[in-house]
Structure 1
Amino acid sequence: MADHPPEALGPLLREARARLMAAAVDDPALDARLIVEHYSRTTRTQAIASPDLKIDESAIAAIDDALRRRAGGEPVHRILGYREFYGLRLSLSPETLEPRPDTETLVEAILPFVKATVAREGACRILDLGTGTGAIALALLSVVPGATATGVDISAGALATAARNAGQLGLGGRFTTVQSDWFEKVSGRYHVIAANPPYIPSRDIGNLQDEVRDFDPRLALDGGADGLAPYRVIAAEAARFLEAEGRIAVEIGHTQHDEVDDIFRAAGYAAGEMFGDLGGNDRVLVFQRSTP
């Protein structure tokens, strides 16, 4: 395809779709459209209204390379370098987990509390543990102007990506980063502690979809022998950093509700409020300190 003269948008899209279909990609039509639109700087509307629009050779070469990578198993958003999350465009890097729609459940679960806290106190301080791209914190900041957030990650590369995302979204003034292994370097108290921690048992990493196992950072997936190690750390240490009426919101694996609830209750929290994702799976638990 790279050797062809400039091609028209319509045939280019058809050829891209056919290549990805032949490679047995999950959603060849969507991925072909994302790739062609991104590198040709065109829109869905143009594809429908102007299928004869000529695309220049450099864009065709870039599309060709991207299609080859996608056919080889690389996730489409890793190739494009960004992912939409909660209506925000977030840059990705090799050190960041690709944010998934399921995690929007956590944003929705804690958002009313963030709004209520700002309304009552004029501020809401959010601690996003294992922030990655900054997805959870930045989604909350984008909706609640009075909130501020600190993104914590053990990876300097992830924090650089999160800070870049905050800047690109105009949220840099309300978002700070701390390189820390969980709470190790954290200080202060927060109204909300949020986390989408690694929760895959170590032995199950090899069974994950190739796109997850081979391209998401292992640090962001591996939850230790039983997948629960990060929840034990958070439950044991969070109280020192949580305001009295604060909330802890954690994403969980869909079979982990009872175990995670037990861990937090043993550490002095009331039974968690559970929120399901769009697929109907248990996805998020929200905790507060139990009252004596």
Structure 2
Amino acid sequence: MTPADDSRAGALISRAAAYLAESGIDQARREARLLFELTYGREVSWQLTHADEIMPDTELFADFVRRRGAGEPMAYLSGRKGFWTLDLEVTPDTLIPRGDTETLVEALLRHRPDRQSVASVLDLGTGSGCLLLAALSEYPQAFGVGIDRAERTAQQARKNAALNDLASRADFVVADWSDPVNARFDVILSNPPYIPKDDIPDLMKDVVAYEPGAALDGGDDGLDAYRQIIPRLPDLLEPHGLAILEFGIGQEKDVADIARQSGLSVVELCPDLAGIIRAIVLSL
């Protein structure tokens, strides 16, 4: 194979796919094509019809392939992740938004179908801002507050609000969710850490090695955050407000028990697209 052959689009993708497969990356050819698009801005349709095209800057492509093979998440390589209808910027300071978390937005729309019915939203542990910004995108009269204990994370959420033309309706505060909040809200959303501490090493390597541990660690049984957040909800919710929280697989009974002990009603337990109970809807 000549050097020219080595830098042809099809050859680059094939070698990348083989390397990723050997590294244990699922759907290796698909991932190789995504990395090619990230490097060169060429979509799959172009790749399929220009396999013999000679490509420049092959070292940049090779670097992306090496990093992905080592387990670095695609979202951190690209710096972008779609969530709901939003395009978000993500960094290693924030948990990567996942489709499962869209279950909370779906539940909110189901229980508040009138898009004029929500005036205020609180997001506890906002991270990238994905939940708060998705809610604001659906309720045009609402103003939202996102709370996160890390300044760099809050800065990223502010940037995402601006990227999605929502900065005028969102404020991001650096605080802990146990700190006082002197306001009440129509809707409270939260995707807190819920992985039991001892289970974290067993997660996928790209999660353990690259995503922020503080956004994963839910304490010994995974429920530490719920014991802090849920008892505060009666003082944070408007009289007819809703709180919607995400939790881990099999945690629904424990979270519901904490809610009932705090004087809250369980309105719904919500499955994700895989049928796994993923979120709880609470009211006063």
Q: Report the TM-score, using the length of structure 1 for normalisation.
A: 0.90
1:178 counterpart = 2:185: no
Map of 2:46 onto structure 1:
46
User: What is the CA–CA distance in structure 1 between the aligned matches of 2:50 and 2:153, rounded to whole Å?
Assistant: 40
- The alignment partner of 1:271 has SS state of strand
More off after superposition, 169-178 vs 84-93: 84-93
User: What is the CA–CA distance in structure 2 between the aligned matches of 1:261 and 1:142, rounded to whole Å?
Assistant: 29
User: What is the CA–CA distance in structure 2 between the aligned matches of 1:241 and 1:144, rounded to whole Å?
Assistant: 19
AA in 1 matched with 2:189: A
AA in 2 matched with 1:153: D
Map of 1:71 onto structure 2:
69
User: Which residue of the other structure, out of 130, 139, 142, is the alignment partner of 1:135?
Assistant: 130
Q: Give the drift of 1:183.
A: 4.2
1:287 counterpart = 2:282: yes
- The alignment partner of 1:64 has SS state of helix
Do the aligned residues in 1 keep the contact of 2:116 with 2:140 (CA within 8 Å)?
no
Change (3 A) 1:53 1:173: farther
AA in 1 matched with 2:32: A
- The alignment partner of 1:16 has SS state of helix
> Which residues of 2 match residues 1-292 of structure 1 at below 5 A?
7-57=7-57, 60-116=58-114, 118-120=115-117, 123-289=118-284
Q: Identity across aligned pairs (percent)? A: 36
Tell me the number of residue pairs that the alignment of Structure 1 and Structure 2 aligns: 282
Q: Give the drift of 1:119.
A: 2.5
Q: Give the drift of 1:6.
A: 8.6
> Gaps spanning 5+ residues in structure 2: where?
none
Do the aligned residues in 2 keep the contact of 1:189 with 1:243 (CA within 8 Å)?
yes
RMSD between superposed Cα atoms in Å: 1.9
User: What is the CA–CA distance in structure 1 between the aligned matches of 2:51 and 2:152, rounded to whole Å?
Assistant: 40
Could you report, residue by residue, the CA deviation over 1:136-187 in whole angstroms, capped at 9, with x for unpaired residues? 1112222332222211101111111111111111111111101110041533
- The alignment partner of 2:266 has SS state of coil
User: What is the CA–CA distance in structure 1 between the aligned matches of 2:244 and 2:207, rounded to whole Å?
Assistant: 24
- The alignment partner of 1:212 has SS state of helix
More off after superposition, 22-31 vs 243-252: 22-31
- The alignment partner of 2:127 has SS state of coil
